[in-house]
């Protein structure tokens, strides 16, 4: 027991010394600041363009939804935020995210109320689009990004490379920071389309960094916050659950470890949900808003299993909603199980990162009511793995952009779309010590070039050609099918890679026993 404590103490001291070395001798602080300033400048540039629902009455779009939530939370008591009433008509952008999003809306609403009360006044502010109101709204997203997402990225980068050798990987620090902070999809959705994904994704990155630091209780707390900000963070839940369970089972007292994790999770949820725990009615009012089953299993043309296969199988016509809910749950859980099994049996930090990607893709493919923007959740672990898997990250990013292209074009974000796409490609191919352009065979190189050419053609066709009157959404359907095929390839590769890593871990365990 004493030996293990000494060993752990020495390991922590070594990690702290390495982190200090990274922050000083290698100048990661200066690199991070410079890249962060450039990333902020890019976000500001994107935010001067239109947003979802700009000048589009009567319901406008996501911008109005976020503003309306600030209006509701700053003018009504907390127990009425999810309650349908004359003061809060839930058919007009009712809150449909967990309580932490409501608290965030309240804080941002106070900010708007202080500087420009008209932008959040009850009733009269619906569809408010004044210059100062839009400016303040944009600043709330930027502040959320800088205060939550940016520090989480710094923590992750430093933690990851503190555990690497002081060899060639140290020169990848600035590149990796740039790849995460300048992710074009996240910037276009949050600062163009208008959302606050940076908060839940930032909390998730913090939780991942805590896992890599072996601070499992901190990770449980941060991930619980992410779940309570956006329910889509559940895309990562199987990976967190299986890794923490697998690790707990290797302790001398596994039950105690599981209990400690459970106390942190339950305590965090209780604290956040406290205003609604006074009655079952209040709890169910919130829960009913988090699961929009009435919208059907899919909307628009999202590149997942349900929407793609609906070309041949009319799911909504063949099955009732209840049956589709069960089928969706079964397929989502079934596709997650192999990755979960591997992590429970052979938990490791590297396998955990691949598990996050596999879990997110499983939910994206099979869960109920997926949006185009949900691909951001799969992109997050891919960006964290960018050093180990630069091609996978590049491929997933490019086809994620294509899958969201119709949505972003409707928001009139074509100029920032092209600019961010170009910036991403330029920075990606600046990766030191890389062989981005060298593939295993001429045939694979030809396939990759062909796919990229098709992607380019689809962009041009969608911009310049009118679809047939009989099939007005033909091009959206083609883009959806093409992107889905690429996402499936990424999922197959990622699951295979996790299996290989787990086999190596099992061999290592057997050698130790011998």
pLDDT in tens, 426-482: 999 887 765 544 555 787 888 889 999 999 999 999 999 999 999 889 999 999 999
* Structure-token pair, residue 209: 């960094």
Burial class (CB in 10 A: 0-12, 13-18, 19+), 225: buried
Q: Which residues lie across from 370 on neighbouring strands? A: 298
498: left (phi over 0), alpha (psi -120 to 50) or beta: alpha
Per-residue pLDDT at 498 exceeds 80 = yes
Of residues 4 and 367, more confidence is placed in: 367
Residue 411 near residue 51 (C-beta atoms within 8 A): yes
Residue 424 near residue 397 (C-beta atoms within 8 A): yes
pLDDT in tens, 248-266: 999 889 999 999 999 999 9
Per-residue pLDDT at 507 exceeds 70 = no
Residue 421 near residue 401 (C-beta atoms within 8 A): yes
Q: Which residues lie across from 298 on neighbouring strands? A: 370
Alpha helices (runs of H) in 347-473, residue ranges in sequence order? 349-366, 375-384, 390-410, 414-428, 442-464
Strand, coil or helix: 370: strand
pLDDT in tens, 284-333: 999 999 987 877 888 778 999 999 999 889 898 888 988 999 999 999 99
Q: Is the Cα dihedral 300, 305, 306, 312 positive or negative?
A: positive
What is the average pLDDT score of the chain?
Answer: 89
How many CB atoms sit inside 10 A of residue 105's CB?
A: 26
Give phi and psi for 148, each to the nearest 5.
Answer: -120, -55
Residue 417, CA atoms < 13 Å, CB-side half-sphere:
22
pLDDT at 1: 44
pLDDT at 510: 45
* DSSP per-residue string spanning 449-470: HHHHHHHHHHHHHHHH-PPPTT
Mean pLDDT in residue range 100-120: 96
How many CB atoms sit inside 10 A of residue 335's CB?
A: 21
Mean pLDDT in residue range 105-129: 94
Place of tokens 């694979």: 444
Task: Read off the pTM.
Answer: 0.92
Per-residue pLDDT at 18 exceeds 60 = no
Closest C-alpha among 400, 348, 405, 344 to residue 374: 400
- The whole-angstrom separation of Cα 243 and Cα 356 is 10
Mean pLDDT in residue range 405-417: 95
Give CA separation, 51 vs 47, 196, 499, in Å. 8, 13, 42
- The whole-angstrom separation of Cα 162 and Cα 4 is 21
How many CB atoms sit inside 10 A of residue 306's CB?
A: 23
């Amino acid at each position: 027991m004493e030996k293990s404590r000494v060993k752990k103490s020495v390991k922590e001291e070594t990690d702290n010394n390495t982190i200090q070395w990274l922050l000083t001798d290698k100048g990661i602080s200066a690199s991070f600041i410079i890249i962060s300033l450039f990333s902020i400048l890019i976000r500001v540039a994107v935010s001067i363009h239109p947003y979802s629902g700009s000048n589009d009455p009567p319901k406008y779009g996501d911008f109005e939804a976020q503003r309306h939530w600030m209006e509701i939370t700053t003018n009504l008591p907390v127990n009425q935020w999810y309650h349908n009433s004359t003061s809060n008509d839930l058919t007009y952008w009712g809150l449909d995210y967990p309580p932490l999003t409501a608290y965030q809306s309240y804080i941002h609403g106070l900010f708007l109320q202080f500087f420009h009360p008209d932008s959040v006044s009850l009733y009269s502010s619906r569809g408010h689009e004044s210059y100062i109101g839009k400016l303040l709204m944009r600043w709330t997203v930027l502040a959320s990004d800088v205060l939550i997402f940016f520090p989480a990225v710094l923590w992750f980068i430093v933690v990851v490379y503190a555990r690497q050798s002081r060899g060639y990987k140290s020169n990848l620090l600035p590149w990796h920071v740039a790849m995460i902070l300048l992710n074009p999809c996240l910037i276009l959705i949050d600062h163009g389309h208008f959302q606050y994904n940076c908060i839940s994704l930032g909390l998730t990155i913090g939780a991942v960094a805590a896992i890599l630091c072996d601070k499992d209780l901190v990770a449980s707390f941060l991930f619980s916050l992410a779940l309570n900000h956006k329910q889509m963070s559940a895309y990562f839940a199987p990976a967190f659950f299986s890794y923490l369970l697998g690790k707990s089972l290797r302790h001398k007292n596994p039950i105690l470890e599981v209990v400690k994790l459970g106390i942190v999770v339950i305590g965090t949820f209780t604290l956040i949900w406290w205003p609604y725990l006074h009655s079952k009615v209040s709890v169910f009012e919130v829960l009913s808003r988090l699961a929009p089953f009435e919208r059907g299993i899919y909307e628009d043309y999202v590149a997942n299993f349900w929407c793609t296969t609906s070309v041949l199988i009319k799911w909504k016509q063949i099955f009732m909603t209840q049956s589709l809910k069960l089928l969706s749950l079964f397929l989502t859980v079934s596709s997650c199980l192999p990755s979960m099994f591997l992590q429970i049996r052979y938990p490791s930090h590297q396998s955990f990162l691949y598990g996050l990607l596999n879990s997110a893709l499983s939910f994206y493919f099979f869960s109920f009511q997926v949006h185009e923007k949900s691909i951001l959740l799969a992109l997050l672990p891919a960006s964290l793995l960018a050093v180990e898997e630069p091609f996978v990250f590049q491929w997933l990013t490019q086809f994620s952009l294509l899958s969201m292209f119709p949505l972003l074009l409707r928001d009139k974000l074509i100029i920032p779309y092209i600019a961010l796409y170009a910036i991403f490609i330029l920075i990606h191919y600046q990766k030191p010590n890389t062989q981005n352009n060298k593939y295993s065979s001429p045939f694979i190189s030809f396939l990759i070039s062909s796919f990229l050419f098709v992607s380019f053609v689809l962009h041009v066709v969608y911009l310049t050609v009118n679809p047939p009157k009989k099939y007005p959404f033909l091009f959206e359907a083609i883009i959806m099918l093409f992107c889905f095929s690429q996402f499936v390839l990424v999922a197959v590769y990622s699951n295979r890679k996790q299996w290989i890593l787990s086999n190596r871990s099992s061999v290592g365990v057997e050698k130790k026993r011998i």
